[in-house]
Structure 1
Amino acid sequence: MKALRIIPYFYLFIALLFIYDFIDKIIKGEGYFWLGLAIAAVAIFMFFFRRNSVRRMEGYKNNQPKK
């Protein structure tokens, strides 16, 4: 279960890498820089989505009756 709490932060790391790539390509004047921005946006969305789903699973786990 600890791995599920760490995985969303990998998405955040990937988003930061692609934002850096986006800025670097704009400065250098290269093409296809929008693809990096789109991937960063998807990674940020996945960060919030996965974090919310982990919280929801923990909530369900805490509300189950003890056997």
Structure 2
Amino acid sequence: MGILKYTQYVYILFAVFFIYDGIMKLNEGNDNSTLSFIIAGLAIFMFFFRRKFSKKFDDHNKKQ
């Protein structure tokens, strides 16, 4: 379970990349930037979801 604590931060890296990609597409004048921002929002949501799930799992293991 040790490595799963660190994999949640991969979602933040994906979010930063897709936000950067979306800004670059906006500066070029492409209309495809919305997909990059949607994926970035989903990655941020997944980060917080995994973080909550990890804390819940740790609390459950401490009780036993």
Please state which band the TM-score falls in when normalised by the shorter chain.
over 0.9
User: Which protein shows a greater Rg?
Assistant: 1
* Uncovered stretches (5+) of structure 1, i.e. residues with no partner: none
Taking structure 2 as the reference length, the TM-score comes to: 0.96
Paired residues, what number? 64
Question: What fraction of aligned residue pairs are identical, expressed as a percent?
Answer: 39
Provide the TM-score with structure 1 as the length reference: 0.92
CA RMSD of aligned residues (A): 0.6
* Deviation >3 Å, runs of 4+: none
CA deviations on 1:39-65 (whole Å, 9 max, x unpaired) are 00000000000011001000000001x
Supply the distance in 2 between the matched residues of 1:61 and 1:8 (Cα, whole angstroms): 19
